[in-house]
Structure 1
Amino acid sequence: MKTSPSIYRTLPRHDSQQASAVTIGNFDGVHRGHQAILARVREQAIERGLAATVMTFDPHPRTYFALRGQRPELVPTQISGLRDKLTALSAHGLDQIILERFNQALADMSAEDFIRQLLVQGLNTRWLLVGEDFRYGHKRSGDIELLRHAGQQYGFEVETIADVADEHGHRISSSELRTALAVGQLERAEHLLGHSYRLSGHVIHGQKLGRSIGYPTLNVKVPSQCALRSGVYVVRAHGLGPQPINGVASLGVRPTISHNGRLMLEVHLLDCQIDAYGKLTCVEFLEYLRDEEKFPDLPTMIAAIDNDVQCARDHFALHGL
Structure 2
Amino acid sequence: MELIRGLHNLRPRHRGCVATIGNFDGVHLGHQAVLGQLADHADALGLPMTVVAFEPQPQEFFAPDKAPPRLTKMREKVKALRRFSVERTLLLPFNRALAAMSPDQFVQRLLVEGLGVKYLVVGDDFRFGAGRKGDFALLHALGRQHGFQVAHMHTFLIEDRRVSSTRIRTALAAGDLGEAQKLLGRPYRMCGRIAHGDKRGRTIGFPTANIFLHRIATPLTGVYAIEMFGLDEEPVQGVANLGSRPTVDGFKTLLEVHLFDFDQQIYGRHVQVDFLHKIRDERKFPSFDDLKNQILLDVEQARGYFA
Measured against the shorter chain, the TM-score band is: over 0.9
- Report what 1:277 is aligned to: 267
1:77-96 map, 5 Å = 77-96=69-88
CA distance in 2, matches of 1:225, 1:288: 22
TM-superposed deviation, 1:243? 2.1
Question: Which of 241, 249, 257 is matched with 2:248 structurally?
Answer: 257
Q: What is the CA–CA distance in structure 2 between the aligned matches of 1:34 and 1:226, rounded to whole Å?
A: 22
Shift of 1:229: 2.1
Contact 2:4 2:90 in 1 (8 A): yes
Query: 1:11 aligns to what?
Result: 7
- What does residue 295 of structure 1 align with? 285
CA–CA distance in structure 1, aligned partners of residues 217 and 257 of structure 2: 16
| Residue of structure 2 equivalent to 1:111 | 103
The code of the aligned residue for 1:192 comes to L
Matches within 5 A, 1:163-174: 163-166=155-158, 168-174=159-165
Same amino acid, percent of matched pairs: 42
Give ranges in structure 2 of 5+ residues lacking alignment.
Answer: none
Amino acid at match of 1:108: A
Q: Which residue of 2 aligns with 1:304?
A: 294
- CA gap of 1:7–1:17, structure 2 versus 1, over 3 A, is closer
Q: How far, CA to CA, are the matches of 2:304 and 2:207 in structure 1?
A: 20
- Picking from 18, 21, 26, the partner of 2:18 is 21
Give, in whole Å, the separation in 1 of the partners of 2:274 and 2:144.
Answer: 46
Aligned-pair Cα RMSD in Å: 1.2
Measured after TM superposition, the shift of residue 242 of structure 1 is 2.2
Task: Give SS of 1:251's match.
Answer: strand
Contact 2:103 2:128 in 1 (8 A): yes
Structure 1 match to 2:175:
184
Matches within 5 A, 1:202-217: 202-217=193-208
Residue 225 of structure 1 and its aligned partner are, at CA, apart by 3.6
2:238 paired residue among 244, 247, 255: 247
Contact 1:224 1:262 in 2 (8 A): no
Per-residue displacement from partner, 1:102-135 (whole Å, max 9, x unpaired)?
1111111111110000111110001011111110
Alignment of 1:47-86 (within 5 A): 47-67=44-64, 72=65, 74-86=66-78
Q: Which runs of 4 or more aligned residues in structure 1 lie more than 4 Å from their structure 2 counterparts after TM superposition?
A: none
Deviation per residue, 1:113-171 (Å, 9 max, x gap): 100001111100010111111100001000122212211221100111243212x2111
State the TM-score, normalized to the length of structure 2.
0.97
Shift of 1:265: 0.3
Query: Partners of 1:294 and 1:218 in 2: how far apart?
Result: 21
- TM-score w.r.t. length of structure 1: 0.93
Q: Alpha-carbon deviation of 1:228?
A: 3.1
Question: What runs of 5+ residues in structure 1 fail to find an aligned partner?
Answer: none
